[in-house]
Structure 1
Amino acid sequence: MDLHTRPVLYPLRAVDTARVEYHRHPHLRRRVTIDHRPLAGVTPDEVLAWFENLGGTMRYGEQVIDRYLAWHPLDHLRWELAKPAPGGGAAEGARFRIVERFGGREEFAVDVVDRVEKLDRTGIRLVQRLAGVQIFQLEHTWSAGPGGTHYVSVLDIGARAKALTPVNYVLTRRFPDAMARAWVTHNIEEVGQLEHLLPTLR
Structure 2
Amino acid sequence: MNSLIKICGISTPETLDAAVTSGADFVGFVRFPKSPRYVSLDQARNLSRQAAGRTQRVVLLVDADDAAIAEAIAAIDPEFLQLHGHETEDRVREIRSRFGRPVIKVLGIAEEADLAGLMAYAPLSDRLLLDAKPPRAPGALPGGNGLPFDWRLLTKLDPGVAFMLSGGLTSDNVAEAIRLTGARAVDVSSGVESAPGIKDPSRIEAFIKAARAAYAAKDQ
TM-score, normalization by structure 1:
0.29
Larger relative contact order (Cα-Cα within 8 Å, sequence gap ≥ 6):
1
Higher helix share: 2
